[in-house]
Amino acid sequence: MKKVLFLLIPLCLLLNACNWFKETPEVGLVLAKHFDNKLYKKFDTAEYNVIFKRHLDSLKANFSNPNTLKTYYEHHNSEPTLVTKYFVNGGLDSLEAYIGRSKLHGFNPELFGYKKLKVLLEALADNKFKSIAEVYPVVADLELNAAESLIKYNNFVYYGSVNPRKLLSRYYVTVQRPDTASMLAVLATNDLQKLLVSIQPTSTQYRELQKAMLELEKKRNGDDQALKTIQVNMERLRWKLPDLGEEYVEVNIPDFSLTWFNKQDTLSHMKVCVGAAREKDYAEKIKAYTKSGNLDDKPKNHETPILCSKLNSIQVNPIWNIPVSIARSEIYWQVIKDRYYLSNNNIKVYYKGTLVTDPDTIQWSKYPREKLPFQFKQGSGEGNALGKFKFIFDNGSSIYLHDTNNKNGFSRGNRAISHGCVRVEKPLEFAEMLVKDKYEYDQLRMEVNLPPIDTTKMEVYNKILAKKADTLNIFKLKPKWFGTKKPVPLIINYVTAWSQNGAIQFRDDVYGLDETLYAAMKKFM
């Protein structure tokens, strides 16, 4: 018995060395069956893995996501999962076809390695290998290039080619961007064709802009600016913004408008004034100011930021806490010229939080405006720069929507004229839509000297008017707060091209953001 066992041991080792006990990996079986070629049954996992790792190391410098690929294939033991699952069923052919049509999104197909992928798919499909050793480098290259193409195509088409928060200085909307987890999930998909369909933008606006882009490219009538404008706005539609829900308010900066949407319906639309554009050659001027520290060198930049928030309250008869920048650049010079400017404009002065009782006696020329130790607040009333209504939402830029005591701005074509906040053309209409009910709306109306809708409250209204008309000046107008019926989603957006009633609307690039975005995208086109 011992002699038999002694003879069996070297025999087993010999058989193992001859690969007689090795199983053909799935990729070999799939290809052998598809091509009806026994050559692929000789597919050796160990030999392939050596080739695969060598090719991964040599190609990673050309890949946009080499670390993700490395992680994925380490977890999958270097198996050619995409070739195994999607070569025979046409999934990789679908990937090639989608990438070949990347121009539909304004992208150059070569951005996703179209020609290389096509050549590798054809090389494997030709089935002209003389030995299994010739198969390994083709499968390895096809697997890696397909993985890179798939990830990159998904990232660009589904999420957009650029991250606006990194590109644009006053873009504060949280956009969803691809990360390692999302890219690994793409590679691990069990239905590639379904995935490719799902990542295509499907909004009506995107399709209409896409159609207009293709028509312009076909005509090539020299209107390159219109084409650029459409392409950057298609990119904006690819960005994954927070879900605003069915009902929300949108301020579109280039259109100088505010629209209240409920699904696709427009409940209200009105003009707005937005922040003035930054000075020409702003970047160079800000460098000069940084170097000198002289406020006279500081360029102006009042651009309204792009953000998402929720409207949560209304301040009626608001107080304006005048920003330090405005105090230094405007208020200071006004009081130098006219010591009664403050009292004439109902502006109170505070020093370290304490009210200065007689600001007209301050010797302003003694104080350098760079180190002005005072704070300024404009009281409630007719002359208040915020008008009668201030619409409040959480944000890190200290901006808000508000009424104005100067309605002339709404008659202008270019309404980029404010210090950054958004002036609303129809504040009363907007307030009515925000408050909880008719009772609250009547209370709000009476606070701004308007009669209530409910005539049974006229007695209350007349008493309020009499109190405000007190000749002894005992009454002092103060702000009053009203809550909204619910937090209303708000997006302050920047859109310069969109489809409306079957035609593309274009707006001027008032802040130059289209140019910035196009410059970043151009290398992908």
Question: Taking the domains of the chain in order of start, what are their residue ranges?
Answer: 22-198
Total residue count of the chain as it appears in this document: 525
| pLDDT over 70 at 485, yes or no | yes
pLDDT tens digits, residue range 58-104? 998 999 999 999 999 999 999 999 999 999 999 999 999 999 999 99
Which helix H or strand E contains 120, and what residues bound it?
A: helix 114-126
Give the separation between CA 163 and CA 253, rounded to whole angstroms. 20
Sheet with 347-351: list strands edge to edge. Answer: 320-322, 374-378, 347-351, 354-355
pLDDT tens digits, residue range 100-118? 999 999 999 999 999 999 9
Write down the mean pLDDT value for the chain. 93
- Say if CB 246 and CB 262 are below 8 A apart: yes
Determine the pLDDT at residue 14: 46
| Residues paired with 467 in a beta bridge | none
Give the separation between CA 415 and CA 266, rounded to whole angstroms. 22
Determine the pLDDT at residue 9: 52
Report the interhelical angle of 438-447 vs 427-434 (nearest 10°): 140
User: Could you give the residue ranges of the DSSP H alpha helices within 179-331?
Assistant: 180-187, 192-198, 204-219, 224-238, 282-292, 324-326
Of the given ranges (214-228, 432-446, 478-492), which has the lowest mean pLDDT?
214-228
Report the sign of the C-alpha dihedral through residues 57, 62, 67, 69, in that order: negative
Closest CA to 301 of 416, 407, 163: 416
pLDDT tens digits, residue range 15-29? 444 444 569 999 999
**pLDDT (average), residues 410-414:** 97
Tokens at 212, concatenated: 């207009």
pLDDT bin (cut points 50, 70, 90) of residue 223 is: low
pLDDT tens digits, residue range 342-366? 999 999 999 999 999 999 889 998 9
**pLDDT (average), residues 249-270:** 97
Tokens at 362, concatenated: 């301050």
Give the separation between CA 373 and CA 519, rounded to whole angstroms. 43
